[in-house]
Amino acid sequence: MTDVTKNIQLSEEEFLLNMGPQHPSTHGVLRLVLKLRGEFIEDLTPHVGYLHRSIEKIAENRTYAQFMPFTDRIDYCASMPCNLAWALAVEKLAGIEVPPRAQYLRVLMTELNRIASHLIYLGVMSLDLGAFTPFLYTFREREWILDLFEMTCGQRLTYNYMRIGGVSRDLPPEFYQSCKNFTKVFLKKVDEYEALFTYNPIFLTRTKDIGILPIAVGLEYGASGPTIRGSGHNWDLRKVEPYSSYEKFDFNVPLGTKGDVWDRYMVRVQEMRESCKIINQALDGLPEGEIKAKVPGVFKPPAGEVISRIEAPRGEMGYYLVSDGSTKPYRVKIRTASYGNLQVLRYLSRGWKIADLVAIFGSLDVVLPEVDR
């Protein structure tokens, strides 16, 4: 890093600004070295790795089941999808059939977590734009979801809920009513957020036509999820290659038109409504039966390689898993959505102001532990 600042050529009117690693709007610990001309960004170099915990190396020294809690720590805002992707990868490798009830429970939990994650996005995005109040409103509703999670699996942040072949626990009896109430109230709350934000003139000037991401560029850099859907690219793995019986649910994939900050925001707001729909369907159509397939205590999948992909709240995440037939994975490569989304930042923010950089970075919804792993 020392050489980075030295190698940048500066003209007289330019200067370097070091943003982060401790900065209010870098969502964790990201360091951006900005080359500025006045307040305009000429160039930007992201430095990641401050949260590198070598989860991939740890995976090689844990059994398949033992690795599940570590997947929680990949993306602490949305642990359920990380769990799910790992479970799917191992099940694909070993050819385990998951009982339908467990599949529905997985969908239910993942969608609840998607809402929780988007609520964090919404709150933090508003905070980045200088409005403090929506942050607390969204966290108020997130609390309810966390209560639901606590009710189900005893945890509020790192759930460790999924198991290879199913889920760890069935729903408690009071879950149904509480969750139903939540979806009913929550739809009204989304309207409330929208009233506060969506067509607020200041919000519009801060987000409209800012940081436009063309579809081709997004694909080139590996952007996924709401980031690329905001540009109007109709690609949602839940629809395209349904996993965990997503094909049985009826929901829409919200799309943006232009790919600016506002579109990415709007896609997420609408995705919360769609997730509510899925949750209701999952609750009503929850099949009876087992919640976990029979998996041997000493679990030894066959040797082989497998990839798993799911649509996490931030985009596509997945594992590339190599097994040598022992109890421990031979190699786990974790692909996370933020990794691709953060790479686009440099393209998006060139030519904009510092204030826009904050808005653009907020709209990408990057969670740094996911990038560093």
Partner 1 sequence: MLELTGIIQWVGGIVTSISNSLGLPQIIIDIILILLIAVAIFAFLMLMALYLIWMERKVSGHIQDRLGPMMTGWHGWAQTIADALKLLQKEDIIVANADRKVHYWAPIVVFTACFAVYAVIPFGKGMLAADVNIGILYILSITTFTTLSLLMAGWASNNKYALLGGMRSASQIISYEVPLTLSILGVVMMAGTLSMGKFVELQGPYIWKWYVWPQFIGFCIYLIASTAELNRTPFDLPEAEQELVAGFNIEYSGMKFAMFFLAEFLNMFTVGAVTTTLFLGGWNPPLPALAFIPSWVWFLGKSLFIVFVIMWFKWTYPRLRVDHLLSFAWKVLLPISFINIILTAIGITIF
Partner 2 sequence: MNKEQIENKITQKFGSAIEIQKTKNPEPFIYVSIEKYIEVCEFLKTDPDMCFEYLFQLGGVHYPDDRFEIALTLSSHKHKHELVLKVKLPHDNPKAPTATTVWEAANWYEREAMELFGIQFEGHPDPRPLLLYDDWNYGYPMRKGWTGPDFIPMPDKTKGGDD
Binding-site ranges for partner 2 (CB under 8 A):
1-2, 4-6, 16, 18, 48-49, 52, 54, 56-57, 60, 92, 95, 219-222, 233, 235, 240-241, 304-307, 309, 316, 318, 320, 322, 330-331, 333, 335, 339-340, 343, 372-373
Q: Is 260 in the site for partner 1 (CB under 8 A)?
A: no
The least CB distance from residue 310 to partner 2, in Å, is: 12
58's contact among partner 2, partner 1, none, with CB below 5 to 8 A by partner kind, is none
235's contact among partner 2, partner 1, none, with CB below 5 to 8 A by partner kind, is partner 2
Which tokens hold the place of 107?
Answer: 């969908």
Altogether, the residues listed in the chain come to a count of 373
C-alpha closest to that of 94 among 295, 331, 298, 333:
295
Among residues 35 and 142, whose Cβ is nearest to partner 2? 35
The least CB distance from residue 128 to partner 1, in Å, is: 5
Which residues ranging from 49 to 88 are in contact with partner 1 (CB under 8 A)? none
The least CB distance from residue 156 to partner 2, in Å, is: 28
Q: 138 Cβ partners below 8 Å, 6+ apart?
A: 119, 120, 122, 123, 126, 193
Which one of 14, 23, 299, 306 is in contact with partner 1 (CB under 8 A)? 23
Which one of 15, 66, 294, 302 is in contact with partner 1 (CB under 8 A)? 15
Which residues ranging from 328 to 357 are in contact with partner 1 (CB under 8 A)? 353-356
- 304: Cα separation from own chain's centroid: 28
Adjacency order of strands within the sheet including 31-37:
14-19, 31-37, 40-47
Among residues 112 and 255, whose Cβ is nearest to partner 2? 255
212's contact among partner 1, partner 2, none, with CB below 5 to 8 A by partner kind, is none
Gap between the Cα atoms of 318 and 74, Å rounded: 11
Q: Is 186 in the site for partner 1 (CB under 8 A)?
A: no
Gap between the Cα atoms of 149 and 166, Å rounded: 16
The least CB distance from residue 25 to partner 1, in Å, is: 4
Residue 171 identity (one-letter amino acid) = L
151's contact among partner 1, partner 2, none, with CB below 5 to 8 A by partner kind, is none
131's contact among partner 2, partner 1, none, with CB below 5 to 8 A by partner kind, is partner 1
Adjacency order of strands within the sheet including 329-335:
304-312, 315-323, 329-335
Q: Is 280 in the site for partner 1 (CB under 8 A)?
A: no
N-to-C CA span, the chain? 20
Among residues 140 and 156, whose Cβ is nearest to partner 1? 140
Which one of 4, 5, 37, 39 is in contact with partner 1 (CB under 8 A)? 39
If you compute the radius of gyration of the chain from its CA atoms, what whole number of angstroms results? 21
The helix or strand, by DSSP H or E, that contains position 109, with its residue range, turns out to be helix 100-128
Alpha-carbon torsion (222, 226, 230, 233), positive or negative: positive
The least CB distance from residue 57 to partner 2, in Å, is: 6
Which residues ranging from 101 to 160 are in contact with partner 1 (CB under 8 A)? 126-133, 136-137, 140
Q: What crossing angle do the helices spanning 354-364 and 100-128 adopt, rounded to 10°?
A: 170
Kindly give the pairing relationship between strand 329-335 and strand 40-47. unpaired
DSSP state of 248: G
- Tell me: cis bond preceding 24? Omega within 30 of 0 counts: no
Total residues contacting partner 1 by CB under 8 A comes to 30
DSSP state of 60: T
The least CB distance from residue 372 to partner 2, in Å, is: 6
The helix or strand, by DSSP H or E, that contains position 357, with its residue range, turns out to be helix 354-364
Kindly give the pairing relationship between strand 31-37 and strand 329-335. unpaired
40's contact among partner 2, partner 1, none, with CB below 5 to 8 A by partner kind, is none
Residues in contact with partner 1 by the rule CB under 8 A: 15, 17-18, 23-25, 39, 126-133, 136-137, 140, 196-197, 200, 202-203, 205-206, 353-356, 358
